[in-house]
Amino acid sequence: MKILITGAAGNLGGQLCRRLADQHQVADADIVGDVSHKLDITDYQACRGLIDAMRPDIVLHPAAWTDVNGCALDPDKALRVNGVGTQHLASITGGRGIPLLYVSTNEVFDGALDRAYSEYDRANPINAYGYSKWYGERAVAQLNPRHYIVRSAWLFAHGGRNFIHAIRQAAKDGKPLRVVTNEVANPTYTSDLAQAIVQLIETERYGTYHLVNEGAVSRWQFARFVLDASGFANTPIERISRHEWPRPSLPPEYAALANHAGASIEIVLRPWRDAVRAFLEAEAAP
Ligand SMILES: NC(=O)c1ccc[n+]([C@@H]2O[C@H](COP(=O)([O-])OP(=O)(O)OC[C@H]3O[C@@H](n4cnc5c(N)ncnc54)[C@H](OP(=O)(O)O)[C@@H]3O)[C@@H](O)[C@H]2O)c1
């Protein structure tokens, strides 16, 4: 297949490129990084030019402005990139019958349920990032019938800055650790998510999917598990409430995702603890 991947310099986009490059003809595109196609998804003509020149069999679209606090401070830019940029890709691919896979987020939900969100639960974003991603979801659903919307959560990847790296670094530096107890989601290894996406695009079972490592956990429990598994079992972590950690973008409180649609076609990611252990082993490998 000819596959166009947006956000290819990012954590998930890079992982998708590496996984698919062996068996497919992959075009990697991003606004930054060492990629073969510089592409700003807010530029409609540039998106159309690249898609028409390449005629991909599918477009995978993880590109996004993922700085959630930046999105809260500049909601217009969030909508321009995550919403309207996605709309461009949806209308171009939809008009040409090209399938589109859009990566979205658990932050399209408000976090007010006391159970994990299913694919059929109603989105109700409570911050600018979540709203911009939800706008992108609606554009994809309305403009391209051959779409996959893949929601995920709390991604961790090798190389990139993420929660696991930050917690371990703070423990190494002997810094006092304070972590929120009342924010819950599913820590998800980009490598597992990329593998699940590769499986999904072979199925042509279009629709909305919640692809996360199995199990939900609070930020505090996640941090505790990481330190225990990294040789820092004696490092204390103070438990704090989310209101003691003010940020421009407050995430939903209980934003765990349940994978029903993927499970029905046997696409299930391993439990998050196994994924974190595998990640830590890979980080420790020479
Ligand atoms: N990270 C998470 O915890 C998480 C959780 C749930 C869902 N998601 C979703 O998963 C997807 C992948 O996340 P990730 O963590 O891999 O993101 P990432 O590492 O930030 O990668 C996104 C890439 O898109 C690029 N980009 C930004 N604006 C662009 C534009 N106008 N045109 C083209 N490319 C642009 C980014 O460049 P810059 O670096 O210059 O911005 C970056 O290289 C995103 O759609 C995100 O919303 C992420």
The residues spanned by each domain of the chain are 2-162+187-215+255-271
Q: Distance between alpha carbon 40 and the CA centroid of its chain, in Å?
A: 19
Instruction: Work out which ligand 1 atom sits closest to the CA atom of 9.
Output: 43
CB 181 within 8 A of CB 219: yes
Superfamily of domain 2-162+187-215+255-271: NAD(P)-binding Rossmann-like Domain (3.40.50.720)
User: What is the C-alpha to C-alpha distance for residues 106 and 143, in angstroms, rounded to an integer?
Assistant: 22
Closest Cα to atom 32, ligand 1: which residue? 40
Which residue has 């040789």 as its token pair? Answer: 231
From residue 50, alpha-carbon distances to 9, 35, 60, 75, 82 in Å are 17, 14, 14, 27, 19
Answer yes or no: pTM beyond 0.75: yes
252 lines ligand 1 (CB under 6 A): no
32 lines ligand 1 (CB under 6 A): yes
The whole-number pLDDT of residue 84 equals 98
> How far, in Å, from the CA of 109 to the mean position of ligand 1?
19
62 lines ligand 1 (CB under 6 A): yes
The whole-number pLDDT of residue 216 equals 97
Closest Cα to atom 43, ligand 1: which residue? 10
The whole-number pLDDT of residue 77 equals 98
Give the pair of three-digit tokens for residue 241. Answer: 């409430």
The whole-number pLDDT of residue 114 equals 85
> How far, in Å, from the CA of 44 to the mean position of ligand 1?
18
The whole-number pLDDT of residue 159 equals 87
CA dihedral 117, 256, 146, 57 (to 10 degrees): -170
Quickly count: other Cβ atoms within 10 Å of residue 276's Cβ: 21
Parallel/antiparallel/unpaired status of strands 188-189 and 237-240: unpaired
Instruction: Work out which ligand 1 atom sits closest to the CA atom of 11.
Output: 16
> How far, in Å, from the CA of 189 to the mean position of ligand 1?
15
User: What is the C-alpha to C-alpha distance for residues 134 and 142, in angstroms, rounded to an integer?
Assistant: 12
Long-range contacts of residues 65-71, Cβ cutoff 8 Å, at least 24 apart: 65/129, 65/132, 66/10, 66/129, 68/107, 68/127, 68/129, 68/247, 68/249, 68/251, 69/247, 69/248, 69/249, 71/127, 71/128, 71/129, 71/132, 71/249
User: What is the C-alpha to C-alpha distance for residues 151 and 133, in angstroms, rounded to an integer?
Assistant: 10
As a three-state string, the secondary structure of the chain is: CEEEECCCCCHHHHHHHHHHCCCCEEEEEECCCCCCEECCCCCHHHHHHHHHHHCCCEEEECCCCCCHHHHHHCHHHHHHHHHHHHHHHHHHHHHHCCCEEEEEEHHHCCCCCCCCECCCCCCCCCCHHHHHHHHHHHHHHHHCCCEEEEEECCEECCCCCCHHHHHHHHHHCCCCEEEECCCEECCEEHHHHHHHHHHHHCCCCCEEEECCEECCEEHHHHHHHHHHHCCCCCCCEEEECHHHCCCCCCCCCECCECCCCCHHHCCCEEEHHHHHHHHHHHHHCC
CB 212 within 8 A of CB 257: yes
User: What is the C-alpha to C-alpha distance for residues 15 and 9, in angstroms, rounded to an integer?
Assistant: 9
> How far, in Å, from the CA of 10 to the mean position of ligand 1?
6
Residues lower than pLDDT 70 in the chain? none
Query: Is residue 131 annotated as part of the catalytic site, yes or no?
Result: no
Residue in 44, 102, 117, 129 annotated catalytic: 129
